[in-house]
């Protein structure tokens, strides 16, 4: 695998982001147009198609949100454990989840100093990523 850095650490799943999402949005828009233009005799079936497309859209987004929430909890646990392993103390409670997620890219050599700086200066996740000199790739998160 290629090394990660600030430029290339974001990942996309082509079949999810570039195929399924646009097709689902087209389905929702098409079903709404169909409902709007439906004759009285087809109103019930057009309503069901529209409802079904919104249900599928909801499932699409909620499945992604639920998976990300689990990943975020795991990252918080991993980084707290890494900090405890390196220092004998848990991560600073002032760190926000977004900061902890950004800190996961820092190698052990700069992780402790960067986590303290992030908590003290209330750095944004983008600022934290910019300060990382030795990038530790995360190849599992999508």
pLDDT digits (tens, 9 = 90+) for 80-123: 999 999 999 999 999 999 999 999 999 999 999 999 999 999 99
Distance in angstroms (rounded) separating the CA atoms of residues 106 and 137: 9
Residue 43 pLDDT > 80: yes
Write down the pLDDT at residue 12.
76
Residue 3 pLDDT > 80: no
Please state, for a pLDDT cut of 90, what percent of the chain lies above it. 82
Question: What's the Cα-to-Cα distance from 118 to each of 43, 46, 93, rounded to whole Å?
Answer: 56, 53, 11
Mean of pLDDT values over 33-59: 97
Write down the pLDDT at residue 2.
64
Where along the chain do its domains lie?
10-71, 91-137
CA-nearest of 48, 53, 115 to 79 is 115
Of 9-18, 40-49, 87-96, 108-117, give the lowest mean pLDDT range: 9-18
Write down the pLDDT at residue 141.
66
Please state, for a pLDDT cut of 70, what percent of the chain lies above it. 92
Distance in angstroms (rounded) separating the CA atoms of residues 137 and 53: 37
Residue 18 pLDDT > 80: yes
């Amino acid at each position: 695998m290629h090394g990660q850095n600030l430029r290339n650490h974001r990942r996309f799943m082509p079949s999810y982001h570039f195929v399924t999402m646009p097709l689902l949005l087209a389905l929702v828009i098409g079903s709404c147009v169909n409902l709007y233009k439906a004759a009285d005799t087809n109103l019930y079936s057009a309503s069901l198609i529209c409802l079904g497309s919104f249900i599928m859209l909801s499932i699409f987004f909620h499945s992604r949100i639920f998976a990300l929430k689990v990943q975020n909890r795991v990252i918080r646990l991993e980084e707290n454990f890494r900090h405890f392993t390196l220092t004998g103390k848990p991560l600073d409670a002032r760190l926000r989840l977004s900061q902890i997620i950004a800190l996961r890219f820092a190698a052990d050599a700069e992780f402790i100093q960067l986590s303290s700086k992030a908590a003290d200066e209330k750095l944004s996740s983008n600022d934290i990523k910019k300060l990382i000199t030795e990038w530790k790739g995360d190849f599992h998160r999508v």
